[in-house]
Amino acid sequence: MESAREGTYTENIAYWLCLTTHYFATQSANSSERKGEVWLSGFPWLSAYVPDKGRLKALPEKVNNIGSGIVKMLYADGYLWVIYRDSLVKYACKPDNTYAIVAKKEFELNKHLLSLTLSGQYVWVVNEESIFQLDKNSLSLLKEHSHSPLNPYSASNHINSVFLDKESNLWVSAWSNGVSYSSTRDAFFKTVWIKPQSKVGSEFVSTMHYDPDGYVYIGNKFGGVIRFHTQSQQLDEHYCNAPELSPNVTSIQSDKAHLYVSVRERVWVIDKQSRRIIGSFATQCNDYIFDIKLDTFHRLWITTYSGLECFEEQNGQWQNVYTFTETTPEPRRLSTNKLHKIYVDKAKNELVITSVMGLNRLQLNAKGEVVRVLKYAADAKTPHSLSSNYLWAIDKDKDTYWIGTMGSGLNKVVLTDNANGKLTYTAEHYGIEEGATSNDIESVEVDAFGNVWCGGFYLSFFDTKLKRFAAFSNNDGLQGHSFGTASSCKDAEGNLYFGGSHGFNYFKPQAQMFSSAHLRVHFSRFENNGKVVNSSIEFTDALSIAYPNNDFSVYFTTLSYNAPQRLRYRYKLEDYDTDWHYIAVNDPAPHATYQKLPYGTYKLLVEVGDWQQWSGAQTELTVVSKPPFWLTWWAYTLYALALAGLLYVCFRYFMRWTQMKHTIAVQEEKERHKEELMQMKMQFFTDVSHEFRTPLTLMSHAVTEMEEEMPSNKYVHTLKRNTGKLSNMVNELLEIHRMDVYTPQLKANYISANSYVQAIYNEFKEWASKVAITLQLTLPEQEVKLWLDEKYFSKILSNILSNAIRYSNAGSTIRLSISVENLSELTPLYKSAFENTTHTLPGKQLVVKVQDEGIGLEKNALSEIFKRFHRVEGQGQKRVGSGIGLSLVKSLVEAHRGGIIISSKPNVGTEVIITFPMDDSYLLPEQKLQDSAFQLKEYLSDYAVEYEHIGEEEDEMLNSPQEDKPTLLLVDDNHEVLMILKNIFIKEYNIILASDGEQAIEKCNQHFPNLVISDVMMPKIDGFELCAILKKNLQTCFIPVILLTAKSQIESQIEGIELGADAYLTKPFDVKLLKTNVRNLLNKSKQHTPIENIRQKVIDKKQQEQLDKLTHLVVTNMQNPHFSVDNLCLELGMNRTKLYSFAKQATELTLANYIRKIRLDKAAELLKTTDKLISEVCYEVGIDSPSYFTRAFKEQFGVSPSEFISGKR
């Protein structure tokens, strides 16, 4: 900026520097043509000063054509702008460094020009009296700004210089009047000042009305009616100033030809064209008029403090046609006579009138007659009520009324109709709390964007989305701080007009009223613990505070002079604050304060904005809070070293604890999942069991009938046994499900334990003897009596004894005993023991012990056997249980408040101890029965079916072997299934029986059967493993194998086929299908194809090589008993399936038949070329059974080996 005293200054504009010397004396100016050169002006020539060389030089004459008398010059936008005393010249520089005039403006002034500046498309030139705004291109004068007595904010008349800042504010300095500024941007609020007339206050606007003819008609005090043309912005202050229009115009309405102006108690009619009063009429009540409105029927409605009157023009005269008061009969009665403003809703054909007692809503019919008056009043008990009954200004936007009050702010009112036709309303009110300068809302206008403008004390803008007010004052270009009651209107283009004490303002609202995007925050002062540390931190990037002075304040501001009163700030300390802190508008010293700031490095962010939006540009300042020495890094290093050992120990402990916790969690999850799965299984089995009962009942009845008719038929006996077995399994499933859902309801009898155990022992002794097991009983000498549920006690003991027999070997002994002892006196027989005595009632116990010499259990298996569906699978057991019995036993023992102790040792035996309390206090009176309907014999009959068939004679070879019949080996662990298979094939084949896979392998190696039929699920060695063993052995790999199983899954079938099974049938099987498979497989094995013929069929060279290699391997390993199919696969580089497929494709024989052919061909060769015995040749070709060798040789060559030697071929 220029210096306020005589001297020099510089101004950097583009590449030019400006230097003025002896400013007040010579008024000289200068400007630089190029960087590093300064032009100096003076009489009578221009000179140039070169700073690098420190000398002056005269400019060429062609430059001096600019002339002398220069006041100021400026180079910008490629032009040289020069002010002379009475003119402004715009020069353009030519290539030859001469200057040509582009434009020139002459001024006829009393005071010569002083200064100039540029902004946008304008050139600003000043003299002492005026500021001239010119077009930059043509230098034509656009506007002259000078001092006006009417406008206290007009320019001074003692101007000496002008300056334009970066925000396009024009700063003007004046002699003895300081500095003033104004924005060069187009003013948002445009002001029309009204000259005062003869009386004080005549410039006060009392009412405004827009007419479609393009004029705003304005009523004021003592000044009549004036008008403003909205297009030309010309004010006609002498439109109609008849004395009849004094002292105050309260309202104006118009039609095409007339104005209707209310003054006191009369309405005056003015002819618009002649501007003369042509008539008038008075209200019937002769009271002061507040408002007049024309409706769609061209009737004039007038509000007074004596009610509402309606006038209609009849024969050129206005006549009163309706009067409404607070005493008018319903439904046309008003809430009060004191009425204010009228809103005519032409769309709904109704009037809404404000008053001192709320709203009155007049509904009109198609003829314009009032059919109903609805009244709306404030109710303090209702949350969405009017804020006050004293209502004044009103306007409407869509279905929402905006109503101003005197003292209670702005009301948003929506009138609603409910389903019953009852008219109600909802209201919201806004005032000082939302930013209004006052709760007196005297005029209301809704703009095109749905926002509300309110006049009163200052002009306020209400944003309906943000629900906030923004106030405008004189600093924003308003005519004053006071705006009249209901003195506002809106024109056809959306411009709003508000009248006040010195004239009126008009403007066109925008969707986004203000923009703060260009604003930036500047830090101004820093205080630490209340003391100013740095009064200027504008160029500081970081501040530091140290303990204990960690309280600080940072002051900031914005270098904006356009409406600074509407700026607001927010700040946040990153990594400390989670939300922004907001500073109220108009805070004289905005700042951020923090106390006891924790140690660390933070970033203070500050942002400025107006009340509508934030600028989006944040100013940053780094704040470092330094810790005391005991919290510094080297202190922490010492702490870390001191605690390193402890942390290591804690870490190790934590890791172990975490690992243990994880292990427990995983185990718990497994247990939970297992329990859920168990519940699902149990529910499924229970549902299925219920479905089984009906067909089982029908089967049982049918079997009973058949038994009576055919008492000696073995098939009927088999059917009866298995029906009973199924029924027993179903009952167990249902019983254990009931245990899950309901607590077992005991029905106890007072029984003799000696007698009861003796009876159960007698039944099981006979069954144990059938499997060569000895059952011993030991009873106390004295009779033991106690309360027990006979059924449950029988079930418990029967399950324990049945398991003992099932898992004991033939020739072993099972010992059963009872005694009365204390629980603490009991000692398990073996070290590995599991106890379940949690629910056991203390005191004397009936102790039942069962000791066997069976397979025994591992320690970790003891706790599992009482879990539902758990099945013990060990060496040598002949039958595997369902896994339900022991789980049921556990539940029943716990119901008796007893306990279970089980101990075992693998391959030695198992001891089970069951205890029952002698004390009957756990039983309810209704659980003690005097009579018992339980039949022990009938109950134990369910267990008899399991042992009925045991002991039947089984012959290893069931008939005398006949050489003309093929031999079948039948393998199944179920005796009855084995007998059925025997009866199917006994007439056509030699039959060999085996009860498990281990026996089957022995008998295969001994008898070499023609075909094997085997079950899959068997103890020791199952069907899959049996098949794999047979197919791996070169001596047995040729034997066809048929697998029978209850597993119907396709995966199981695939597994059997991959292991070499020739057929796979699911139970229950079809007898015809089984017989057909047997015949086909035997017929295939009888087919004879000489090796030579096989080789002739091989057409592929690679196949021929593989086949020769296969043949060579078999021949060279004939006497190797350990050479198996797996060895063949390894040598040939094939898997088992591919080898079988190759053999079938290349030879049209199975692999087993092809190997057998090689052996027999080799045998024939040896018999023909050597003198070896038949038995020697048999063993040399790898066949261990002479009988099988003889049978196979005859099948292939048609003669026996002896006949072959004798030449009887």
Helix (H) or strand (E) holding 592: strand 591-594
Positions of E strands within 1018-1155: 1041-1045, 1063-1066
- Asked if residue 961 lies in contact with residue 990, where contact means CB atoms within 8 angstroms, the answer is yes
Would you place residue 877 in the very low, low, confident or very high pLDDT band (cuts 50, 70, 90)?
Answer: very low
Report whether pLDDT(847) > 80: yes
The pLDDT tens digits of the residues spanning 251-280 come to 999 999 999 999 999 999 999 999 999 999
**d(C-alpha 978, C-alpha 58), whole Å:** 136
Please state the rounded mean pLDDT for residues 683-698: 71
CA-wise closest residue to 264 among 284, 243, 245: 245
Cα within 13 Å of Cα(163), Cβ side: 14
CA-wise closest residue to 831 among 798, 804, 859, 861: 859
Lowest mean pLDDT among 232-236, 494-498, 815-819, 1006-1010: 1006-1010
Q: CA Rg, the chain, in Å?
A: 59
- Asked if residue 360 lies in contact with residue 339, where contact means CB atoms within 8 angstroms, the answer is yes
The pLDDT tens digits of the residues spanning 1120-1129 come to 766 777 778 8
Lowest mean pLDDT among 41-55, 268-282, 789-803: 41-55
- Asked if residue 849 lies in contact with residue 801, where contact means CB atoms within 8 angstroms, the answer is no
Would you place residue 1097 in the very low, low, confident or very high pLDDT band (cuts 50, 70, 90)?
Answer: very low
Token pair, residue 108, equals: 């006829």
Would you place residue 645 in the very low, low, confident or very high pLDDT band (cuts 50, 70, 90)?
Answer: confident
Report whether pLDDT(1033) > 70: yes
Report whether pLDDT(1095) > 70: no
N- to C-terminal Cα separation, the chain: 138
pLDDT of residue 961: 57
Q: Which amino acid is it at 920?
A: D
Q: Which of 407-411, 465-469, 512-516, 593-597 has the highest mean pLDDT?
A: 407-411
Q: Interior CA angle at 1133 toward 1128 and 1138, to 5°?
A: 80
pLDDT of residue 840: 87
The pLDDT tens digits of the residues spanning 274-297 come to 999 999 999 999 999 999 999 999
- Asked if residue 813 lies in contact with residue 881, where contact means CB atoms within 8 angstroms, the answer is no
Q: Which residues contact 654 (CB under 8 A, 6 or more apart)?
A: none
CATH fold of 967-1086, please? Rossmann fold (3.40.50)
Cα within 13 Å of Cα(398), Cβ side: 8
Q: Tell me the CA distances in angstroms from 403 to 370, 413, 592, one per residue in order.
A: 23, 8, 39
pLDDT of residue 546: 85
Percent of the chain with pLDDT over 70: 82
Q: Which residue has the tokens 């300042």?
A: 621
pLDDT of residue 1203: 80
Report whether pLDDT(365) > 50: yes
Report whether pLDDT(4) > 50: no
More confident site: 441 or 538: 441
Cα within 13 Å of Cα(770), Cβ side: 16
Looking only at the bridges linking them, the beta strands covering 496-500 and 581-583 are unpaired
Residues 91-104 as b/e (b if ≥16 CB within 10 A, e otherwise) read: beeeeeeebeeebe
Report whether pLDDT(688) > 80: no
Token pair, residue 245, equals: 């229009």
Report whether pLDDT(503) > 80: yes
Report whether pLDDT(13) > 50: no
pLDDT of residue 476: 80
CA-wise closest residue to 59 among 87, 82, 30: 30
Would you place residue 97 in the very low, low, confident or very high pLDDT band (cuts 50, 70, 90)?
Answer: low
pLDDT of residue 885: 61
pLDDT of residue 240: 92
Q: In what order do the strands lie in the sheet with 967-971?
A: 990-994, 967-971, 1011-1015, 1041-1045, 1063-1066
pLDDT of residue 959: 46
- Asked if residue 876 lies in contact with residue 853, where contact means CB atoms within 8 angstroms, the answer is no
pLDDT of residue 406: 92
Report whether pLDDT(941) > 80: no
pLDDT of residue 1061: 82
For 859-954, where are the alpha helices, taking DSSP H only? 859-862, 885-895, 936-944
pLDDT of residue 562: 63
Please give the CATH architecture assigned to the domain spanning 746-872+881-929: 2-Layer Sandwich (3.30)
pLDDT of residue 161: 80
Positions of E strands within 975-1040: 990-994, 1011-1015
Q: Average pLDDT of the chain?
A: 81
DSSP letters for 670-691: HHHHHHHHHHHHHHHHHHHHHH
Percent of the chain with pLDDT over 90: 29
Residue extents of the structural domains in the chain: 23-183, 287-375, 378-485, 521-631, 633-715, 746-872+881-929, 967-1086
**d(C-alpha 5, C-alpha 173), whole Å:** 13
- Asked if residue 101 lies in contact with residue 90, where contact means CB atoms within 8 angstroms, the answer is yes
Can you give the three-state secondary structure of 892-917, one letter per residue? Answer: HHHHCCCEEEEEEECCCEEEEEEEEE
Would you place residue 33 in the very low, low, confident or very high pLDDT band (cuts 50, 70, 90)?
Answer: very low
The pLDDT tens digits of the residues spanning 1037-1091 come to 778 899 987 765 666 667 767 777 888 888 778 888 888 888 888 887 665 444 4
Looking only at the bridges linking them, the beta strands covering 441-446 and 72-76 are unpaired
- Asked if residue 881 lies in contact with residue 847, where contact means CB atoms within 8 angstroms, the answer is no
3-state SS, residue 858: coil
CATH code given to domain 521-631: 2.60.40.10
Please state the rounded mean pLDDT for residues 559-588: 83
pLDDT of residue 1152: 78
Q: Which amino acid is it at 390?
A: Y
Lowest mean pLDDT among 192-196, 235-239, 1176-1180: 1176-1180
pLDDT of residue 293: 97
- Asked if residue 84 lies in contact with residue 69, where contact means CB atoms within 8 angstroms, the answer is yes
The pLDDT tens digits of the residues spanning 313-324 come to 999 899 999 999
Q: Which residue has the tokens 């949350």?
A: 383
Lowest mean pLDDT among 59-63, 432-436, 1035-1039: 59-63
pLDDT of residue 992: 92
Report whether pLDDT(603) > 90: yes
Q: Tell me the CA distances in angstroms from 950 to 622, 947, 991, one per residue in order.
A: 96, 5, 20
- Asked if residue 856 lies in contact with residue 904, where contact means CB atoms within 8 angstroms, the answer is yes
CATH code given to domain 23-183: 2.130.10.10
Report whether pLDDT(357) > 90: yes
The pLDDT tens digits of the residues spanning 1160-1182 come to 888 888 887 788 888 788 878 87
